[in-house]
Structures are given as C-alpha cells and as structure tokens.
Amino acid sequence: MQVRDVMTQATITETASDTLRAAAERMWRQQTGSLLISERGRLSGIITERDLLRAVALGADLETSTVDEAMTTEVYTVPPDMPLHEAAREMAARWIRHLPVVQDGELLGVISMRDITGIFAALSPSDVTVEHEFDQLVRERRLARIEHGDLD
C-alpha cells in the first residue's frame, strides 16, 4: 500500500498573513489538524494544532498573531508512491502527525496519523507487524522526549 492510496485532499490557505484565530476556526470548520500554506503555487509552510497550541502557550495573541509567526517552514514531504509503512516510520521518527504529499513540486494531498491509524485498524491480525513496529518506535521516541524534558 502506498501513500497515494490513503492521502486526502489538503486544506490549503493562500496566505500566511491570516490570524491564528482564523486558522484555528478554519481547522475546526473543516475538521482538519493542519493547514498547508501555499505561495505562488508552492508549499511554503504548514500550521498544525500543535503549532497553534505552542503559540498560545508562549503568549501569542490569537487576534493579532499571524500564521507565518507560528507555522513550520521546513516542511518534510513525501512522494505519493512511498510505501505507507515508510511514511508511518517517518512520522514517528520526526514526531509529526501530518505529511504533505508532493510530486515534482506540486502539492497533491496530505496524509495524517489519523489516516494511517484507520488503515491499521482495518488490517487483519496477520498484517499487524507494521503496526507493532510503529507503536514501539512511537513509545521509544516518547520516552526519550520525556527523559530530556522536551514535551512540545
């Protein structure tokens, strides 16, 4: 199974100058955990629920702070033909929950931890090895972060 088999349409915002409140409201309305920021047709960033939480925790004003102040600009992307289990490993290793799917510079969609979890939930018991490997990797990463006091 490949990323293209489970990716969903990306929620894109044309501007990074939207307020954090506008971004949060859009995420809520569209029931998504991330917004991809596109400038001139190219992916320039991603803002996630975690980015919003971090901004608020650090004192950002939702009415005046903008998306570009909180978004991640060094976005890790995956190609549509990447095997799903590899994308899951990358998400766990990088501690991220949303991966934009890009081919030849064109944004095709996004894959989320929720998408992957849904696939694992549908697997038969004989297919669960990847799920166990993924769970172990996540546990190890979480413990390492707790030990180092990195709880962002």
DSSP of 11-40 = -EES-TTSBHHHHHHHHHHHT-SEEEEEET
Is position 152 within any domain? no
End-to-end CA distance of the chain: 31
SS3 138: helix
Question: Which residue ranges in the chain fall short of pLDDT 70?
Answer: 11, 14, 124-136, 138, 142, 145-146, 148-152
Q: What is the pLDDT of residues 53-68, one digit of tens each?
A: 999 999 999 999 999 9
Q: How far is CA 50 from the centre of its chain?
A: 9
- pTM of the prediction? 0.74
Is position 67 within any domain? yes
Total domains in the chain come to 1
Is position 52 within any domain? yes
∠ Cα 74 80 81 (to 5°): 125
Query: What CATH number corresponds to the domain at position 17?
Result: 3.10.580.10
Range of the domain at 139: 3-147
